[in-house]
Structure 1
Amino acid sequence: MKFVCARVLRGCAAGLASLLAMVAVLVCTQVAHAQAVPPKVQLSPAVRAALQSPALTDQERAALRLRHGTWDEGDLTTPADRARAALAIADFASAALADPAAPAAVRAEALIAAGRPQDALALVEKATDSRGVLMRALALDALGRTADGTAAALAAKEAGEQNGATRDEQMDAIEATALLARLQGRPSRDWQSMLDALAKLRDADQLDPRPRLLEGRLLVQKDRFEDGVAALQE
């Protein structure tokens, strides 16, 4: 590949050669990045041990399998379970994501990911839970309604920073802060504070993959690709 690129560059004018060189670097970087992402990630020893623990009830074991993406159909006993499983594998056409009994925030998240923010907004426009409010912020942002999206993100952030906020609400607050960092151009120290908060959540429950997954996403967004991939692989 290097030999072909060199021949092309030698045959071009100086300006075009520089442009092609930049493109070549980007292509090579993307190839390297793709190679850094494994086709499959193994469960950590801690998760495997927990799944085999007799201390867990069948319901707790099923919830843990769902959270780590190793569920089977028998684990999906509720509309919420089925919707979350469909979202996890990006099966946006799944009937589970059209089920009115499934959480509106889960269905809205799938619609946003599928490029349908207007439909997502209809589901969470009046939501009061932190996840629903966060999805409203993301839908509004995707629709170009920056001011409204910022207001919703601030509401989700504040909810997760209240005393007594649940673990899920704290996670939503961090995601909302990440959105605000982009919408408002917040300084780099806000990103570090998010990573610090995620580290605390991760240490508090090492079987919960969500803090590390969100950390990986944030690192990739800040162009720290190798660190982000390492986080996503755990």
Structure 2
Amino acid sequence: MKAPTPATLKAVLFVLFVMTLVCLPFAIFGEDFVLPLLQSREKQTVALTLIAIALLACDSVAPIPATLVIMYLAAKAGWIAGIVGGTIGMCAGVLAAAWIGRTAVGRLAPKFIPDAELVRMREALQQRLVLTLACLRSVPVLAETSIIVAAAMGIPVGRIFWVTVLPNFIVAVIYSVTADDSFTTAAIAFLLTMALSYLAWRVLGRRAAANQA
């Protein structure tokens, strides 16, 4: 087995560093405040939807369980509110994560990775940007990490936003539709969504690599 190069190790450490930043709020503050906040406006559809959107928009910097937020919104305000609020909130979260990646993490990237390796990583990511970001939208931590890393690599924020709109909508639909079912159904939907995302990433990624060969 070929040993990883120093540049590869630095790239891996950089991604792990970003993942740590994403996980840190959960470790420090926990997520117990989310449910009481939603419950405080559960009888007010508009207010509950706006709170859910605000929470999802802060997903990359605060300990927000996006799945719980979308499902609670759909269960209390209806599946349409869940889909609309979930999609808007996750899209706002993408913009927030991309801004963090561009303005803050992007300044740290050169300290981890040489300029030549940054260019190579950016080109490789651009080739599979839609596939990578789309398939990771349903995966906790990696969903935010992938957006931050892409923006830090220099991928335009506008492109990141538009390639994630449809995946955000699909995720919102899945969790909104299953919100009124049992916890077991919701858990199965969550696991299936991640499994299908991984399968799509593997299969479509191999096809893309084969087409480029």
Alignment TM-score > 0.5, same fold: no
- TM-score range for the pair, normalised by the shorter chain length: 0.3 to 0.5
Q: Which has the higher helix share?
A: 2
Name the larger-Rg structure. 1
Q: Which has the higher contact order (CA 8 A, sep 6+)?
A: 2
So what's the TM-score if we normalise by structure 1? 0.31
